[in-house]
A and B are shown apart, each in its own frame.
Chain A
Amino acid sequence: MPTLIKDGQVVDNPWSLLAKDVDLNTALSDESSHIVVPFALWQEHKDSLMESGKAVAVCVDSDDDPYELANDVIDLPLICLNFPVFRDGRAFSAAAILRERLNYQGEIRAIGDVLRDQLFYMKKCGINSFDLADGVKVEQALAAFNEFSTSYMSTVEEPLPLFRRR
């Protein structure tokens, strides 16, 4: 069972992450009351999904454009950012765009190849929940959030750069 950390705590995960090629009917007939749908499905069937009675979240892959959610962020309790491989750093920018540009206040979750050694940077960019990849140890992951005492530059977590604080 993959481990989910949210805001520094290990929590249960009620969300069902649907496959990238899922169609609307399959999505709506998913047994879970909380579904994470692919970006394309969300864009195409936003209204049907919203009226379905399910809690709906969207999964943004690394080649999706987070700006396209500008009008939707108010409706979304959760946005998942997929790291297809941990070396793909696009989701760091997607997280910052969701927080800084779109003023998204809900949960941003890192999914996919989410490793312990990327967690600190993810949190700095505004990601607040982490669906850890298999094999990542929870205690180590929790410790990773405090690896650095501060940062030099303006970040989502601390918009004031160090030069305005030191």
Chain B
Amino acid sequence: MYIYDNYDKQMLQDRIVQFRDQTRRFLAGELTSEQFLPLRLQNGLYIQRLAPMLRVAIPYGCLSSRQLRKLASIARDYDKGYAHFSTRQNIQYNWPVLEQVPDLLAELAEVEMHAIQTSGNCIRNTTTDQFAGVAVDEIEDSRPWCEIIRQWSSFHPEFAYLPRKFKIAVCGTPNDQAATQVHDIGLYIKKNDKGEIGFQVLVGGGLGRTPVIGATICEFLPWQHLLTYLDAIMRVYNRFGRRDNKYKARIKILVKEIGVDAFRDKVEAEWLHDKDGPATLTHEEVARCRVFFTDPDYQDLDDIDQAIEDAAASDLLFSHWLERNVALHKKPGYRIVSLCLKETGVAPGDITDTQMEFVADLADKYSFGEVRVTHEQNLVLTDVRLQDLYAVYLACKKESLATPYLGLLNDIVCCPGGDFCSLANAKSIPIAESIQRRFEDFDIQKNIGEITLNISGCMNACGHHHVGNIGILGVDKKGSEFYQVTLGGSSDRDTSLGKVLGPSFAQAEMPDVIDKIINVYLENRQADESFLATYNRIGMDPYKEKVYANAD
């Protein structure tokens, strides 16, 4: 984990003092609502349907157990005893009181956390693969680079009033778990023939109203130039991104309108000035950041464990969990454990204060005191000994954190939707629940196999519906909530955007609709073909025919 030095601490304190005064001036009537809006947003504070919502940054999804305990106590003291992990590796509180937010932020600062730039038209929290540093196929640990980007982007004076929000993802593995291609800037870490590190730079990806897959503008940017190149992209966007229409203000629209080549030319022209200038990264700085992410004190262990195999043979649910929620680790004798926050009846990504404290304890006992947050709204213990898996499983089971369907149908990605969010056109949480109830049986899910089902309550696409194998979008039709279904989306290395199945459905129809879609897949799949592979082979028509068969 990155540890703050006095500079980091001082800037965080400066920010707290600044926002306390901004809040005071707003409450005293010295700032209008319009003037306060970007200030509070850049401190993570939304005014929502029922209360303010505070989004706290979890830089690139990394949390210490100490930080998680603080998040738990804040949930208890300032909220209703729970919080929500978002699809951007952040955490959200739904019920804080505006007047108390400065105090809440001061508490967060005690554990080097904050809500800086978690909203507003600025550079947001940088996200990455939740397996960074432990993945078996990793090219390079993305975390030091994310930290370098975090520092560069925090309080950047030139880019605090961009045309629109701006999201950067970094991925250091061939198997992209960071949805890199649907970010405003996506960075794939690469190594050249000489073993030197660089970045493939994609721009203009994004979901929302106009989903776009990012286009590559640089195949290999040597690492020294990362920040100057990012500065150049940001400057071109800040100057030329559209400001006349909120829905056309993202960088993807600029890239589309002027074309990738013209955009690249502008960036390169701007970059020429800064290239090799003072913002050029140094070996010393990269080495300094890498120190915070070195391997923990691993033991030399066997990579097989008879007791665990025995436990799996006698405990069916454990064997399911082992199969679904446990991934291989770069170090023999260790495993990566995902805690799936998708218990039926609980809003996807929600977690209680006691569950957070439990996970913190678990991390201390079994995983070097660290936890990761995933953009699929789950938690990860990255460094669990193979021999401890059954103990971890049993402990999680008691806390309702052992749902064994990571990556299966019920591991639904879902935004807070109309129950909380003032932007939403429709509720999303009850849709997730009705589908989860329909497919509750583990064997059914297992038979379906790997699939992603993503739900958004509106066009803003916080639930990433465009890149779900099955996507569900809440829409407003003459004041009623309806749901549009897309098929064929994916956010992995071969990113694709889902296509619309047809006319939208009422809420009550949704479990049946999903059931029919799944049945078309099961009837058509060949061998162990995935849902996505079958869809890509047979196309949309069979699904359409089945789902709308009785529509006339």
The interface stretch among B125-133, B274-282, B381-389, B499-507 is B274-282
Does B355 interact with chain A (Cβ within 8 Å)? no
Q: Which residue of A lies closest to B235 (CB)?
A: A93
Interface flags for A72-102 (1: CB within 8 Å of B; 0: not) read 0000000000000011111011101100110
Interface flags for A36-49 (1: CB within 8 Å of B; 0: not) read 00000000000000
Max chain B CB contacts within 10 Å: which of A87, A118, A159?
A87
- Provide the residues of chain A in CB contact with B279, threshold 8 Å: 153-154, 161
Inter-chain contact B7/A148, CB cutoff 8 Å: no
- Closest-CB distance, A155 to chain B (whole angstroms): 6
- Closest-CB distance, A86 to chain B (whole angstroms): 7
- Closest-CB distance, A163 to chain B (whole angstroms): 4
- Closest-CB distance, A80 to chain B (whole angstroms): 18
Known: A147-B14, A164-B278, A166-B7. A93 touches B158 (CB 8 A): yes
Does B154 interact with chain A (Cβ within 8 Å)? yes
Known: A148-B11, A148-B14, A166-B7. A92 touches B243 (CB 8 A): no
- Provide the residues of chain A in CB contact with B35, threshold 8 Å: 86, 115, 117
Max chain A CB contacts within 10 Å: which of B153, B156, B277?
B156
Inter-chain contact A149/B238, CB cutoff 8 Å: no
Q: How far is the CA of A96 from the CA of B277 in the complex (A)?
A: 14
Does A121 interact with chain B (Cβ within 8 Å)? yes
Q: Which of B214-263 contact A (CB under 8 A)?
A: 227, 231, 235, 238-239, 243
The interface stretch among B159-167, B191-199, B417-425, B515-523 is B159-167
Q: How far is the CA of A147 from the CA of B17 in the complex (A)?
A: 8
Does B292 interact with chain A (Cβ within 8 Å)? no
Known: A117-B22, A153-B151, A153-B279. A88 touches B243 (CB 8 A): yes
Interface flags for B142-172 (1: CB within 8 Å of A; 0: not) read 0000000001111111111110000000000
Q: Determine chain A's interface SS by DSSP, over half rule.
A: loop
Inter-chain contact A88/B161, CB cutoff 8 Å: yes
* B: number of interface residues (CB 8 Å): 42
Inter-chain contact A92/B238, CB cutoff 8 Å: yes
Inter-chain contact A153/B227, CB cutoff 8 Å: yes
- Closest-CB distance, A137 to chain B (whole angstroms): 8
Inter-chain contact B11/A87, CB cutoff 8 Å: no
Inter-chain contact B238/A90, CB cutoff 8 Å: yes
Does B288 interact with chain A (Cβ within 8 Å)? yes
Interface residues on A, range: 35 or more
Inter-chain contact A149/B11, CB cutoff 8 Å: yes
Known: A147-B14, A148-B14, A149-B11. A89 touches B273 (CB 8 A): no
Max chain A CB contacts within 10 Å: which of B160, B281, B282, B284?
B160
Known: A93-B239, A166-B5. A149 touches B157 (CB 8 A): no
Inter-chain contact B273/A93, CB cutoff 8 Å: no
- Provide the residues of chain A in CB contact with B277, threshold 8 Å: 154, 159
Inter-chain contact B157/A120, CB cutoff 8 Å: yes
Known: A88-B243, A154-B277. A149 touches B151 (CB 8 A): no
- Provide the residues of chain A in CB contact with B239, threshold 8 Å: 90, 93-94
Inter-chain contact B154/A100, CB cutoff 8 Å: no
Known: A90-B239, A147-B14, A147-B18. A162 touches B7 (CB 8 A): yes
Q: How far is the CA of A88 from the CA of B244 in the complex (A)?
A: 10
- Provide the residues of chain B in CB contact with A151, threshold 8 Å: 11, 155, 157
Known: A163-B282, A163-B288. A152 touches B161 (CB 8 A): no
Inter-chain contact A125/B157, CB cutoff 8 Å: yes
Inter-chain contact A87/B121, CB cutoff 8 Å: yes
- Provide the residues of chain B in CB contact with A109, threshold 8 Å: none
Q: Which residue of A lies closest to B8 (CB)?
A: A152
- Provide the residues of chain A in CB contact with B152, threshold 8 Å: 152-153, 161
Inter-chain contact A162/B151, CB cutoff 8 Å: yes
Q: How far is the CA of A147 from the CA of B282 in the complex (A)?
A: 28
Inter-chain contact A161/B278, CB cutoff 8 Å: yes
One of B5, B22, B161, B288 near A87 (C-beta < 8 A): B161
- Closest-CB distance, B39 to chain A (whole angstroms): 6
Closest 7 CB pairs of A and B: A89-B161, A124-B157, A121-B157, A154-B279, A163-B285, A152-B151, A92-B158
Some 21 contacts from A to B, beta carbons below 8 A apart, are A87-B121, A87-B161, A88-B243, A90-B239, A94-B239, A96-B158, A118-B161, A121-B157, A121-B160, A122-B157, A124-B157, A125-B158, A147-B17, A148-B15, A149-B11, A151-B11, A152-B151, A153-B279, A159-B277, A163-B282, A166-B7
Given A86-B161, A152-B152, A159-B277, 19 extra CB contacts under 8 A: A89-B160, A93-B235, A97-B235, A118-B161, A121-B158, A147-B17, A148-B11, A148-B14, A152-B154, A152-B156, A153-B156, A153-B227, A154-B231, A154-B278, A155-B157, A161-B152, A161-B278, A163-B285, A164-B285
